[in-house]
Structure 1
């Protein structure tokens, strides 16, 4: 936490104006107030009082700043020393210096130092309290900011970890697909590797926290073409996009795992539905696939769990991921406010 001396002095000046000058102006008539502002004695005493009271607040603030977490005894001694030092400074200015230079003082003649100290206890306590309160307000703000920064940093770390999990998961599944093409000596193997390279480039070099939705859709297109190469018949894919993509930002690799999950566990002899709708700052994604009989118990693995965690970290209550599995159809519905 940094010292906020100028801020302290500014707030203390406002406090002084309200507590002393404004209150005084309410107690006397306008003519007397006008005369008061042209009196040398009154202005000099007003100036010295303001400076001395500021020293109380500033001294208390600096003592707490340096010793609050180290020693309660040092704080207590420091505040006492501030009181004694500032009272001494005020006594010298108002009772000695003003008398010798201007011929007047603040208190009655021949006041003893001990009585002077006792008479100033109220002012010492008031303005030292101001410095103490200011310190604790600043300290509270500082710790709140540190807590928020730590939460943000933890969130970023967790998101990075989740994405690091997701990319190998995606790569593992896709390489298995390409392996099957190579194993069958298909002439689609090389184009498949080329499309995989495009997807991996997106995965490795897309470091932005959020990206245009169109980028993610382009990668989904690439992935669908990559999957199509595995089959000797055209896939029945209902891929629709409704709404304006301009200005829509999402985290990278948010939608692709949903589509990937449908291909991995879906029966490609049956229709696959992928609908993306954008309207009124809302993104709705619907992916529905038929489940392969032998994979019924394995549908919805790491990829979907990963997405759910990421959505919670990034969007909080502004999103909803609903997964419905009736043992024959797998339905994933994503809604979020962007």
Structure 2
């Protein structure tokens, strides 16, 4: 039988934090970053829909008052863009305020903006000011105040929902990281004990590998890590299992170069490799091959884990359900719809495939700091 050696661990490039910038305040601020094109686009679309509703209500002899729609669209779009630009520039300062004070400041910015554009527009359309003019401006200010308060309330609820979602995801990660199975620990300790007398150097390496596995299980701060760190963890795990299973465990690695800084949630690939051994190799007296493949195509990175299919389908389903469901939930929370996890069985081969959007660790850090 062929024996495949485990490749040497890839050295990890340390991450250098940005100097002179503190993003903790802006990350916890409930108002999204209005410097982002998507946020501004959504504001413009929402405001234009509101203008359309007002134009339909204003019309008397037709479905819509197009003159009113055009003038109001011009006024609202300019007000929205200038207000978003001011809030974007002041966001670092607003983030250091309390939520109530930041809300009042944003409302004041929008009202002053509306007042300035109202005075300018009315000075052009109605050169002679009067009581009716000031009543119209007061109505615009009242309407703007109600709208901005509703929008800020929506932002606040979205922020609360996002924090709850991240807390649930962190709880899932903590639960998964604590799930290093007791039988693996006992088997590893027995293997190490048997090696102490015959091969102390190999026993020492196994102890180091085991300690690194448990260190990773206790590290709960990182939501995303470089792929090379996850691969190194898998290599350490497989090195321990190779000591126990011997020639029954054969490994195939096919790692495309240049993907070491691809981001991946911690303990995503290792549980899949663990399931491959527990359900595909351990029950078989003759053992089998576990194949780990990483490749990139277009804007995605594909991670594939293959192992001999277990004889019992029910056992396979029960054993993989927790790991796959946890992994799928974490991928969806971090990457959204572009991230896909699927598993299939073709003949005697069971395959789990992960598809992640291609993103380096530095790019991901910048996006996480700018996310709403």
Q: Aligned runs of 1:209-248 on 2, under 5 Å? A: 209-233=223-247, 235-248=249-262
CA contact (8 A) 2:230 2:267 kept: yes
Task: Note the C-alpha offset of 1:193.
Answer: 3.2
Task: Give the aligned partner of residue 23 of structure 1.
Answer: 125
Please say which of residues 245-254 and 302-311 is displaced more in the overlay.
245-254
Task: Note the C-alpha offset of 1:7.
Answer: 3.6
Task: Note the C-alpha offset of 1:123.
Answer: 3.7
Q: Deviations 1:49-84 (Å, cap 9, x if unpaired)?
A: 6xxxxxxxxxxxxxxxxxxxxxxxxxxxxxxxxxxx
Task: Give unpaired runs (5+ residues) of structure 1.
Answer: 26-45, 50-118
Structure 1 segments, 4+ long, off by >6 Å, are: none
- Quick one: distance in 1 between partners of 2:173 and 2:220? 11
Alignment of 1:336 with 2:356, yes or no, is yes
CA contact (8 A) 2:118 2:137 kept: no
Task: Give the aligned partner of residue 335 of structure 2.
Answer: 315
Q: 1:281 aligns with which of 280, 293, 299?
A: 299
CA contact (8 A) 1:284 1:335 kept: yes
SS of the residue corresponding to residue 274 of structure 1 reads strand
Q: Deviations 1:95-129 (Å, cap 9, x if unpaired)?
A: xxxxxxxxxxxxxxxxxxxxxxxx83x34531221
Alignment of 1:300 with 2:314, yes or no, is no
Bigger Rg, which one: 1
CA contact (8 A) 2:174 2:220 kept: no
Task: Give the aligned partner of residue 40 of structure 1.
Answer: none
**Structure 1 residues 246 and 196: alpha-carbon distance in aligned structure 2, compared to 1, 3 A threshold:** closer
Task: Give unpaired runs (5+ residues) of structure 2.
Answer: 1-99, 197-201, 359-372
CA contact (8 A) 2:256 2:295 kept: yes
Give the CA RMSD over aligned residues: 2.6
CA contact (8 A) 1:286 1:333 kept: yes
SS of the residue corresponding to residue 185 of structure 1 reads helix
CA contact (8 A) 1:265 1:295 kept: no
CA contact (8 A) 2:249 2:281 kept: no
Alignment of 1:177 with 2:187, yes or no, is yes
**Structure 1 residues 176 and 325: alpha-carbon distance in aligned structure 2, compared to 1, 3 A threshold:** farther
- Quick one: distance in 2 between partners of 1:185 and 1:320? 42
Please say which of residues 293-302 and 275-284 is displaced more in the overlay.
293-302
SS of the residue corresponding to residue 244 of structure 2 reads coil
TM-score by length of 1: 0.65
